[in-house]
Amino acid sequence: MTVVDLSSRRADAAAAPPRAVLEVRDLVTHFPTRTGVVKAVDGVSFTVERGKTLCVVGESGSGKSVTARSILQIVDQPGRIVSGSMLLHRPDGSAVDLATLHPRGREIRAVRGAEIAMIFQEPMSSLSPVHTVGDQIMEVLLLHLRLSKKEARARTVELLRQVEIPHPDKAVDRYTFEFSGGMRQRVMIAMALACNPAMLIADEPTTALDVTTQAEILDLIKRLQQQHGMAVMFITHDMGVVAEIADEVLVMYHGKVMEAGPVDQIFHAPQNDYTKMLIGSVLKLEQKAEIRLKRAPLAEDAPSVIEIDNLKMHFGSPAAPIRAVDDVSLQVKAGETLGIVGESGSGKTTMGRCLLRIYQPTGGAMRYRKADGTVVDLVTADKETLKLCRREIRMIFQDPVGSLNPRMTVAQIIGEPLLVNGIAKGSELDDRVSVLMDQVGLNPDWRERYPHAFSGGQRQRIGIARAISLNPRVIVADEATSALDVSLRSQMLDLMMRLQDELKLSYVFISHDIGVIRYMCDRVSVMYQGRVVETGSTDQVCDAPQHAYTQALLSAIPRPDPRLRSMHKRHRYIA
Amino acid sequence: MLKFIAKRVLWMIPSLVVISFMAFVLIQLPPGDYVTTYIATLAASNEVVDQNTAADLRARFGLDQPMIVQYWKWITGILLRGDFGLSFEWQQPVGDLIWERMALTLVLTFATLLATWGLALPIGIFSAVRKYSIGDYIATFFSFLGLAIPSFLLALVLMYLAAVEWGQEVGGLFSEQYLNAPWSLAKVWDLIGHLWIPVIILAVSGTASLIRVMRANMLDELNKAYVTTARAKGLSEFRLLMKYPVRLALNPFISTIAWLLPNLVSGSIIVAIVLSLPTAGPLLLQSLMSQDMYLAGAFILLICTLTLIGSLISDILLALVDPRIRLE
């Protein structure tokens, strides 16, 4: 048994380093379906160089993920590579065209994981739940480097140490569900780096993570890239991340390359119309919305619609409760948008659900002032009162796919609140649904269609139409734009603000995205571990945060400008 | 883990007490008792039994006492002496009757299980991996055929074929000369020779449904992201299939062990009757029809105990193979 010297490959590389690791020319990948061929990747060319980062950006359906998977020939069924070449340059000067290899053959398998490794978006589902972390990492070492079990284990511990997993010698024997999202992504990275690959493909590796965790993972990838001289192909839809880490950028749309070039050129001198639009809609979310800038500021003494006092929501046993919402006090004024920002687990969603009393709060008061001036405490309200109040406080959900019943037509979905509350039926209902659809910018002729016939943005409009159908006074929007592409996001927010002015609505706008908050909200509350750490006007919180946590949070957000790279200046908040 | 097992075993005791009582009540629920059935059988062959004889019989069997007293006698007999009572119909201790049959039932069920899983799991995996291929369509066709054919019909057809076409004797698990012979190698060989017909018949429908279940489980797992990850590591297709999706697709089967054990007794009664197999099923049916209450009661108690043990075993196994499950 010979032990492979892990550093030998790099030594060779130093002798004669071929700059390009992978050259892709005119790659075409098709998905034959019953209704015709979907050209997911349609003539894409690019080069990935040693030690450099190529960012592939595009909105959903642009084919960026399929491009990445085509390189390793792991495209999902029934996709297949139709034409093109993908030259992988080896350190010894030889090259192999990956496109000509059989997808199940020995040669491509020798490339996967050893020369080109890949990490994925969902670190939870991308790792097997029933195998230990160590087992899954060691597998690569046993397969490609033919190490003995003992050596593989030692190297696995070393890899886990490199990706900064605490107590790596114990972590080796643990399961993925015992780790947090960020830790799982570190495990994925350790697995990808196991054989010192020449190239790392990262497919949206930070999309499912909080900004502070994202910053740490990006940092880690950067550092490991410098140590190992890897080429990195980074797929993302987040222009902030692109600006922060990219050397070169490839902009994709509908399977085609719209524009490619150095990161500075893409952001500051884009040539292509689509790129301009993309950068434009990202920059738009960097400041306050135009219609909010034009509007006269809300009166300081505007009456509050909802006053929340010392709200508590505890889960689990009363002896050792999990304080999801811990002593929160807030006011929502008439006609204003209150943003609630925080990372996952901060309690912002629980807070929103308490407002509609989907959860029964453990303590505190939520005083809701009705249109006639009477005040109801939502925490203690009886069933009848609650029902009436719920007509006036509505909700918009994050997932535009999951929150619409696929077996109901759009007319049924939008009209349901009117129908169940006995407000309208028959042709009157039909008329009101048409008016509502018109209000949110949907063609009323489409009302007999089912949700699957609509795009993500249109589905979210359906959700909004349903929310405003009962003439509500308050709308709780929980991550209402998170599932949408960036170009749709500002459109959706503009629509919501137009409706706010027309219908005199108050919004409670829950989001993890500071850009969206800044664009739309009048005031912001920052939540951390169930508590509100800071509340203030949007400008004050975003530009001059007072609380150390808010400062840390803001410092971790990558700015969509490669000239303002700030990730290295970020700091952590330790409570 | 040990604490969990101990707790579960302790809980089985009150469950069994309740079950045994309910079983006893259930058996008594139909009008009449064993004596009524016995007299009716005699009457069918023109023998008249007068009321006094009937009363005598009842007194001898203890059927004239209140039900609660009968139950008390029965359950204390089991608990203190391991005595399950006497079968009215067979005039033999229930214990002897049951154990003799259970051994053969066990052999038959185990052989069927091996055949079913051995066939169904690979075919199910194949059928999922090569979805909508010719092979998948063939497997699907035959599995629906297997599901659709009633097993007693298949038993009759196979019996006809075996007896008429191949001249093999069918029915039972032994040839005549071995029926009452002591166990020997030759007798075991004879058993194997007879076993294949019932095993095929019993395995057909089981295999058919299992193929479908395995196929569906696998299809769920095959699209999971961890399969793509494994592929991106460079594992060969066979190795990654066996290590990841198959492993997870098998989990639901472990839960089925819970009802596998009680099936030992009550499963496949019709086939056993058609093939006149000396297994537990036909005996259970007969004892229920003739209200042979101690025999029937012992069977029901056995089924319930096996159900409880089966679910305990599958819970423990599940916790062993799936680290996400924590027993407490």
DSSP per-residue string spanning A4-47: P-TTHHHHHHHHS--SEEEEEEEEEEEEEETTEEEEEEEEEEEE
Q: Tell me the CB-side half-sphere exposure of residue A291, using CA atoms within 13 A.
A: 14
Q: Report which residue type is found at B180.
A: N
Q: Report which residue type is found at A408.
A: M
Residue ranges of domains in chain B: 94-222+248-321
Q: Tell me the CB-side half-sphere exposure of residue A31, using CA atoms within 13 A.
A: 16
pLDDT at A321: 84
> In sequence order, what E strands does A316-460 have?
322-333, 337-341, 363-369, 375-377, 393-396
Instruction: Please indicate whether, in this complex, the C-beta atoms of B234 and A144 are within 8 angstroms of each other.
Output: yes
Instruction: Please indicate whether, in this complex, the C-beta atoms of B323 and A72 are within 8 angstroms of each other.
Output: no
Structure tokens at B183: 């166990």
pTM: 0.81
CA angle in degrees (0–180, nearest 5) for B250-B252-B255: 120
Q: Give me chain A's average pLDDT, please.
A: 88
Residue of A nearest to B237 (CA): A104
Q: Bridge-partner residues for A528, per DSSP?
A: A531
Identify the CA nearest to A505 among candidates A359, A377, A356, A392.
A392
**B94-222+248-321: CATH homologous superfamily?**
MetI-like (1.10.3720.10)
Identify the CA nearest to B253 among candidates B294, B285, B213, B197.
B213
Residue of B nearest to A191 (CA): B233
Q: What is the pLDDT of residues A182-209, one digit of tens each?
A: 888 889 999 998 998 999 999 989 887 8
Higher pLDDT, A561 or A401: A561
Q: Are the beta carbons of B222 and B125 closer than 8 angstroms? A: no
Measured between beta carbons, the chain B residues lying within 8 angstroms of A69 are 228
Residue with tokens 């297949």: A80
B224, B228, B323 ranked by CB distance to A175: nearest = B323
B223, B233, B323 ranked by CB distance to A112: nearest = B233
Residue B267 has pLDDT above 70, yes or no: no
Phi/psi for A206 (5° steps) reads -115, 5
How many CB atoms lie under 10 A from the CB of residue A403? 18
- Chain B, 228 to 287: residues with Cβ < 8 Å from chain A are 228-237, 243-244, 247-248
- Mean pLDDT is lowest, of A4-18, A301-315, A381-395, for A4-18
A120, A130, A144 ranked by CB distance to B229: nearest = A120
Q: Report which residue type is found at B135.
A: G
Q: What is the pLDDT of residues A73-130, one digit of tens each?
A: 999 888 889 999 999 999 888 899 999 999 888 999 999 999 999 998 887 789 998 8
Q: Are the beta carbons of A443 and A465 closer than 8 angstroms? A: no
- Mean pLDDT is lowest, of A2-16, A176-190, A474-488, B268-282, for A2-16
- Pairwise CA distance, residues A114 & A192, whole Å: 8
Measured between beta carbons, the chain A residues lying within 8 angstroms of B231 are 72, 74, 112
Residue B328 has pLDDT above 80, yes or no: no
How close does chain B come to A184, measured CA to CA in Å? Answer: 13
Confidence class for position A339, pLDDT limits 50, 70, 90: very high
Domains of chain A, each with CATH number or no CATH: 290-411+470-558 (3.40.50.300)
- Pairwise CA distance, residues A310 & A323, whole Å: 13
Phi/psi for B322 (5° steps) reads -120, 105
- Pairwise CA distance, residues A539 & A545, whole Å: 9
How close does chain B come to A482, measured CA to CA in Å? Answer: 22
Mean pLDDT of A160-180: 89
Indicate the burial class of A229 (C-beta count within 10 angstroms; 0-12, 13-18, 19 or more): middle
Residue A37 has pLDDT above 80, yes or no: yes
- Pairwise CA distance, residues B306 & B12, whole Å: 11
pLDDT at B214: 92
Instruction: Please indicate whether, in this complex, the C-beta atoms of A110 and B234 are within 8 angstroms of each other.
Output: yes
Q: Are the beta carbons of A189 and A221 closer than 8 angstroms? A: yes
Reduced to 3 states, what is the DSSP secondary structure of residue A303? coil
Complex prediction ipTM: 0.77
